[in-house]
Structures are given as structure tokens and as C-alpha cells.
């Protein structure tokens, strides 16, 4: 990005692929009401101070004060480093996102020199396994969900899981293994997945059909009868479709496929709906102006409720990133995304490629949250409390997690750094890092199914 000005300039190299020039603020930066806060942050690595700088920059961008935004970016650039400590590395991604946003708001005053495109890597299945094992961000949800599913399907000889997730079925080998050990013998397992998913990390170098073949081979090895189905358009996506980061990602058309006929539902099978880090990518904008109009998010929840599932598992990040205000999103995002950066700091060296790649995936999320608006801003998670209220409003009852599930999760967390923990909160299980909420897990049944499911004690 090159900023044109008649005043002196200081060349600053933003680590990565983007070369930028910021106005040297030494003569003008501290001649404004923000001078005290900004001056005190020069060279500081304190997270609270960095957050203040980010908020000052966001406020300047929201008020179209490009000059002040440039000045604050200059200060941030002196703190940011993609190979530094937790705060420095996190700051580098927020700075990148702010520069990207500024270049769109005022393209004549701010323009990039060089490429600003984050390279999206395609992982092998082996690399994906290492990715989800690095920190318990995903495994926590797998563990909580799998145990509750196992309990809910007791006595059934046929199980059908409709799986909405972003980690390419990495949840299911452990579950298949558990079914193989079931005392009365394994049930037949059918997994159905949509052909489309939000184009977000992790991305893999094989098709969803190949994923299904590999799961089938593992199930055969464990003597578990298995069937894998893909619903929706299974043709390859075009380049334009891959670059379209719209909230709907073809899912609106797929809602019509979520019916008993298209899913080939059978009366003698236990139907399970599994949503892992998925619902936040469905638009929450209402269509139409009537009170009866539903957002895509609520429409999805209504449709799956109508399928009468035995249980619905809902897992997502415990973070409200739905605010329209940029400053609100920055505050929430900075404090939430600090968690994985800090966790990686505890066991991976600063020059670790695995660490850099994982952080780059988080960086893509940060950029989407900060840099984009409208349908292009697809990262719109809700807190666990907000999502729970939404589920109740739509007509679901919360299912409490059993003690066995809690023990399993504690065993999982014992395999990781001591900062990881878990708490119970209003029917949820919440993964924590140093006391900070990370990921929530919830289990639900439709209100209409309460009398048909013998687990009504404790439902709320």
C-alpha cells in the first residue's frame, strides 16, 4: 500500500507479501486528542495497549479519517511481527486486515504494492489429522458430540448421521471405532454430507467422495456396516465459485434437499444431526419484512427440526462476531483469536512452519471479520448463550451432557497443555484456555420429540 503525502514518509515493510509506506507520524501523530494513548503504546507489547491502537484505527476508518488511520497503522507496524511473541504475531494479522479494509474504503489514498492474497493451502489427510490434533479446538467438539450420539442411539441397529462440518469428516473414525466395540455389536452406520461447504480452512487435496471411500475402508476394517452419501451438486466448483465467499455458499438451494425423500430417511434408524463450526456461515439476515420471514440460519434449524432427529449436536466458537460495528468486532475478535495464538506459543517454537500455517488459517478468519462487510463477511459466530436462546426460540429442548462425556473430555484435555480446561454453563460444555471461553458444545432435541425419547429428565 502506498500512501501519497506532501510530508515526509517512512517506509515500513509489513511482513509477508505486502509492501506499504506509511506517513511518518513524528510531527503530526501526537498533535491530536489521542496522543497520550498512542504515544504510550510506541514499542509496547502489552495486549491491552495493542487493542487500544486497533480500536483507534478502526474508529478512524469508520469516520473516514484516513490520515489518522495511517498514523495508527504506523505505530502498529512497529509492534507487529509474524515471527515474534503472541501479541506481535496476532497484531501482524490484525494490521494486515485493517490495511486491506482501508484500501477498499479509500482506494485512491491507499493502494497495495504487490500481492495481498493469502495463499490457501490444501492439506493431505495426514496433515489434516495433525491439524485437528494440534490443540483441542476441534477435538473437544468431536469428543462431546460423539459421546452424546453414542448414548442417544442405544438400542438402535441403524444409525443415520447428517453431518454439517468444516473438517472433512475427521470426527468419525473415533466414533466408528467406538461402535465397533459396542457390546451388542455395531449398528449399521450411514453418514450423509452436503456437497458444498464454506470455502474456509482447513482445505484438503481430495474430494468429499474420496473422504467417504477412506471412511468406508476404515469401517470395513472395524467390521462396521457403512454407507456414505453426498447430497447436492457434486460437480467440481468453478474458479468463480471458489472465490465467492458469500454467506450462502449455495446452501440456500440445498435447503430444499433436506427432506425425508432426498435424505432417504428410514423409520427404523436413529437420525442424528451434527453441526460442527457450521451454523455461523449461514446468513442471519431476514428475507422480507414480515415477522414470519426467517433468516437462512433459522430456516435451516426449522427444517432439521422437522426431520424429527433423535438428537442434534451443535458446536461452535463461543464468540459473538455478529456485530455491525467494526470496533465491537475488533474487541471481541482480538480477545478471542489471542487464545489459539497464545496456546501455540506454549509448545511450538517461533520459527515452526506448522505454527505459521495454523496462524495463517486464523489470519484468514481475522481478515474476513475485520476487512469485509455485507455478504462477503461470512464469519458471523454467536456466543453459546446466544445460540442456545436461538435454539429454544425455534423449538428445541436442551439435553444435559452426561458424566461419562465430561470424563472423556477431561481425559482428552489431559493430553494437552495445562492451560486447557472445561466448564459447565447453562446446559453447555465450554472449552477454556486459561479461563477464557473458546468453544461451546450443546445437545438438543425437538420439543415434539420429548415424549418419544426416554431422556426427558433434565431437559430444558
Look at the chain and count its residues.
460
The tens digit of pLDDT for each residue in 10-60 reads 323 333 333 334 444 443 444 454 555 555 555 556 889 999 999 999 999
- The mean pLDDT of 186-197, rounded to a whole number, is 95
Domain boundaries, the chain: 40-113+324-376, 125-234+242-322+380-446
Alpha-carbon dihedral sign for residues 361, 366, 371, 375: positive
Give CA separation, 313 vs 2, 68, 276, 352, in Å. Answer: 48, 46, 8, 34
Q: pLDDT band for 114, please (50, 70, 90 cuts).
A: very low
User: Which range is least confidently modeled, 65-79, 226-240, 365-379?
Assistant: 226-240
pTM higher than 0.95, yes or no? no
- The candidate with the shortest Cα–Cα distance to 182, out of 211, 209, 159, is 159
Q: pLDDT band for 457, please (50, 70, 90 cuts).
A: very low
CA distance 301 to 70: 44
The per-residue pLDDT for 452 is: 63
Architecture field, domain 125-234+242-322+380-446: 3-Layer(aba) Sandwich (3.40)
**For strand 270-276 and strand 188-194, is the pairing parallel, antiparallel, or unpaired?**
unpaired
- Distance from the Cα of residue 107 to its chain's centroid: 30
The per-residue pLDDT for 241 is: 45
Torsion, Cα of 142, 147, 153, 154 (10° steps) = 160
Q: pLDDT band for 277, please (50, 70, 90 cuts).
A: very high
CA distance 319 to 385: 10
- The mean pLDDT of 106-126, rounded to a whole number, is 65
Amino acid at each position: 500500500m502506498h500512501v501519497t503525502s506532501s510530508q515526509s514518509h517512512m517506509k515500513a515493510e509489513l511482513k509477508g507479501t505486502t509492501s506499504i509506506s506509511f506517513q511518518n507520524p513524528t510531527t503530526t501523530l501526537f498533535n491530536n486528542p489521542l496522543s497520550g494513548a498512542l504515544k504510550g503504546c510506541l514499542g509496547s507489547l502489552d495486549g491491552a495497549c495493542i487493542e487500544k491502537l486497533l480500536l483507534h484505527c478502526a474508529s478512524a476508518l469508520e469516520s473516514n479519517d484516513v490520515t489518522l488511520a495511517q498514523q495508527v497503522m504506523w505505530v502498529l507496524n512497529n509492534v507487529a511481527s509474524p515471527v515474534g511473541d503472541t501479541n506481535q504475531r496476532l497484531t501482524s494479522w490484525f494490521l494486515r486486515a485493517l490495511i486491506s479494509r482501508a484500501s477498499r474504503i479509500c482506494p485512491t489514498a491507499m493502494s497495495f504494492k504487490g500481492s495481498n492474497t493469502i495463499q490457501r493451502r490444501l492439506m493431505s489427510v495426514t496433515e489434516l489429522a495433525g491439524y485437528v490434533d494440534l490443540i483441542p479446538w476441534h477435538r473437544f467438539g468431536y469428543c462431546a458430540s460423539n459421546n452424546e450420539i453414542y448414548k442417544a442411539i442405544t438400542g438402535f441397529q441403524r444409525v443415520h448421521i447428517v453431518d454439517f462440518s468444516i473438517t472433512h469428516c475427521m470426527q468419525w473414525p473415533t466414533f466408528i471405532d467406538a461402535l465397533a466395540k459396542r457390546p451388542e455389536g455395531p449398528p449399521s452406520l450411514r453418514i450423509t454430507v452436503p456437497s458444498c461447504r464454506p470455502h474456509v480452512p482447513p482445505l484438503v487435496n481430495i474430494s468429499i467422495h474420496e473422504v467417504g471411500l477412506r471412511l468406508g475402508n476404515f469401517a470395513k476394517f472395524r467390521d462396521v456396516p457403512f454407507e456414505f452419501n453426498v447430497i447436492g451438486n457434486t460437480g467440481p466448483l468453478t474458479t468463480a465459485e471458489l472465490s465467492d465467499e458469500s454467506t450462502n455458499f449455495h446452501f440456500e438451494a440445498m435447503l430444499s434437499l433436506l427432506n425425508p425423500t432426498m435424505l432417504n430417511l428410514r423409520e427404523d434408524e436413529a437420525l442424528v444431526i451434527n453441526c460442527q463450526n457450521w451454523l455461523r456461515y449461514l446468513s442471519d439476515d431476514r428475507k422480507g419484512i414480515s415477522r414470519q420471514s426467517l433468516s437462512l440460519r433459522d430456516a435451516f434449524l426449522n427444517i432439521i427440526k422437522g426431520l424429527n432427529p433423535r438428537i442434534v449436536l451443535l458446536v461452535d466458537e463461543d464468540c459473538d462476531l455478529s456485530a455491525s460495528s467494526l470496533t465491537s468486532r475488533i474487541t471481541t475478535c482480538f480477545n478471542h483469536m489471542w487464545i489459539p495464538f497464545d496456546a501455540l506459543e506454549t509448545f511450538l517454537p517461533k520459527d515452526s512452519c506448522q505454527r505459521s500455517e495454523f496462524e495463517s488459517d486464523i489470519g484468514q478468519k481475522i481478515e474476513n471479520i475485520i476487512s469485509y462487510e455485507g455478504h462477503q463477511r461470512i464469519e458471523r459466530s454467536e456466543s453459546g448463550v446466544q445460540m442456545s436462546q436461538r435454539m429454544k426460540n425455534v423449538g428445541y429442548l436442551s439435553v444435559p451432557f452426561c458424566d461419562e462425556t465430561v470424563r472423556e473430555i477431561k481425559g482428552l484435555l489431559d493430553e494437552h497443555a495445562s492451560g486447557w480446561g472445561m466448564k459447565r454453563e447453562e446446559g453447555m460444555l465450554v472449552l477454556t484456555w486459561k479461563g477464557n471461553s473458546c468453544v461451546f458444545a450443546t445437545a438438543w432435541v425437538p420439543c415434539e420429540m420429548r415424549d418419544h425419547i426416554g431422556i426427558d429428565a433434565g431437559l430444558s
